[in-house]
Amino acid sequence: MLKHNKNAVFLLLAALPLALLGALGSGPVSVDLSSALAEGWSGQSSDAVILWQLRLPRALLAILVGAALGMGGAAMQGMLRNPLAEPALLGVSSGAALAAVLFLYYGAAWKSGWLLQALAIGGAFSAAAAVWLLAGRGASAGRLVLAGVAINAFLSALIALALNYAPSMFAMQEVVFWLMGSLANRGWDQLFLALPFLAVGVLCLFFTRNYLRALALGEDSAASLGFQSRAYPFLILLGIASAVGGAVAVAGTIGFVGLVVPHLVRPLVRQDPARLLWISALAGALLLLLADILVINFVGAQELRIGAVTAFIGAPFFFWLILTARRGQWL
């Protein structure tokens, strides 16, 4: 079983660069990849510009955002010990999206820089805190999810309302983006804006890995193992808010990744909540990159929304997991 798991992890690791190559080779224009790669970053030919300035930042952004969502989902499920917890379900994503919408559509300049990310993280943090407060201390899984659904629905409605009255000709169609996400037309500027916040999030979650391990035994056991400090849950929340908020500010709300990815890969790390963080990041990155390849190759009048594609890819796996659980195994 252990060897089988290692092989699966190795396969995941090998699949990511392959998917990256697939993403770099996908697009409406046929590009000579080898000559474009040889020309390098500063190449002036169309092929080089398309590869280095359009396809590469988009693919890397898909990897980063997918990793942030996967890791955020794993951390949230570990902290709340709830298999249904995920950043989007608990309002973190919509909190970040609402903050970004208010900032972007009501007075901020185009090139707002770090402030947008900082506000998105603030929004994510506030939403998570609101869910926590609403559910109450020591809330059951059901109550927490109920609080999450309520806050999430309220924030989504606020996003739609804010966009409805936004002074933009495209305000209403952009509700769809903020609620379903998109990586279209993103460049290095967005990638570099999101990167530091994703890094801070990953760092925060790294420092809490042993707490998550201890927490798997229950809160009392974690306390007896020396993890009494309230700083740990705060650090996890900060990590999730930073990673997911940073991702949402540039790519919108992409659901399903944070929920389904930890479930898919949990058997590979033998339920270890700490190692689950890394493997979820890897699988999240792969899932979102594959979803984006589908989006790029989909021919239609409007670009397919990536949030819909992640659900299409992830849902069958989820069905399979549920059927497995019904046979009395895990989940």
Partner 1 sequence: MSAHAPRRNFFWRQLLLGAVLILTAKAQAYERIASLNLCLDQVLLNWAEPADIASLTWLSAAEQYRSLPIPEHVQLNRARAEELLPLKPDLVLAGQYGAQRAAERLQALGVNVVTIPDAYSLEQLQQQLDAFEAVLGPLPPLQKQKRALTQLLDQPTAKQRASAVILSANNITYGSGMLEHQLLQRAGFDNLASSQGLARISLEEVIALQPDLLVFYGSEQHFALAYLAARHPVLQRYIDSGRTYTLPKQLSLCPALAVVDTLQQLMDKREALVKAQ
Query: Residue 218: helix, strand or coil by DSSP?
Result: coil
CB atoms within 10 A of CB 231: 13
Sign of CA dihedral 330, 322, 306, 252: negative
Which of 301, 326, 327, 328 is in the footprint of partner 1 by CB under 8 A? 301
CA–CA distance, 12 with 279 (Å, rounded to integer) = 9
Site string for partner 1, 133-172 (x = CB under 8 A): ---------------------------------xxxxxx-
Structure tokens at 207: 């420092």
CA–CA distance, 48 with 14 (Å, rounded to integer) = 25
CA–CA distance, 183 with 190 (Å, rounded to integer) = 10
Q: Which span sits near partner 1 by CB under 8 A: 47-55, 70-78, 207-215, 224-232?
A: 47-55
Tokens 């090998």 map to which residue?
14
Q: How far is the CB of 320 from partner 1 (least distance, A)?
A: 35
CA–CA distance, 121 with 110 (Å, rounded to integer) = 19
Which of 9, 150, 158, 184 is in the footprint of partner 1 by CB under 8 A? 184
Q: How far is the CB of 290 from partner 1 (least distance, A)?
A: 20
- Nearest CA to 232 out of 216, 256, 215 is that of 215
Q: Which span sits near partner 1 by CB under 8 A: 49-57, 224-232, 266-274, 276-284?
A: 49-57
* Helix 257-265, helix 273-297: angle, nearest 10: 120
Which of 8, 12, 33, 49 is in the footprint of partner 1 by CB under 8 A? 49
CA–CA distance, 28 with 328 (Å, rounded to integer) = 47
Q: How far is the CB of 48 from partner 1 (least distance, A)?
A: 10
Binding-site residue total for partner 1 (CB under 8 A)? 32
Q: How far is the CB of 215 from partner 1 (least distance, A)?
A: 39
Q: Cβ(19)–Cβ(290) under 8 Å?
A: yes
Which of 62, 124, 156, 177 is in the footprint of partner 1 by CB under 8 A? 177
The residue (of 120 and 147) whose beta carbon lies closer to partner 1 is 120
Q: DSSP H helical segments within 181-230, as ranges?
A: 188-207, 209-215, 219-224
Query: Residue 59: helix, strand or coil by DSSP?
Result: helix
Tokens 């693919």 map to which residue?
59
CA–CA distance, 223 with 233 (Å, rounded to integer) = 12
CA–CA distance, 81 with 105 (Å, rounded to integer) = 37
Q: How far is the CB of 263 from partner 1 (least distance, A)?
A: 31
Q: How far is the CB of 296 from partner 1 (least distance, A)?
A: 9
The residue (of 134 and 184) whose beta carbon lies closer to partner 1 is 184
Q: How far is the CB of 57 from partner 1 (least distance, A)?
A: 9
Site string for partner 1, 66-105 (x = CB under 8 A): --------------------------------------xx
The residue (of 54 and 141) whose beta carbon lies closer to partner 1 is 54
Which of 27, 83, 122, 233 is in the footprint of partner 1 by CB under 8 A? 27
| Binding-site ranges for partner 1 (CB under 8 A) | 27-29, 46, 49-50, 53-55, 104-105, 108, 110, 166-171, 173-174, 177, 182, 184-189, 301-303
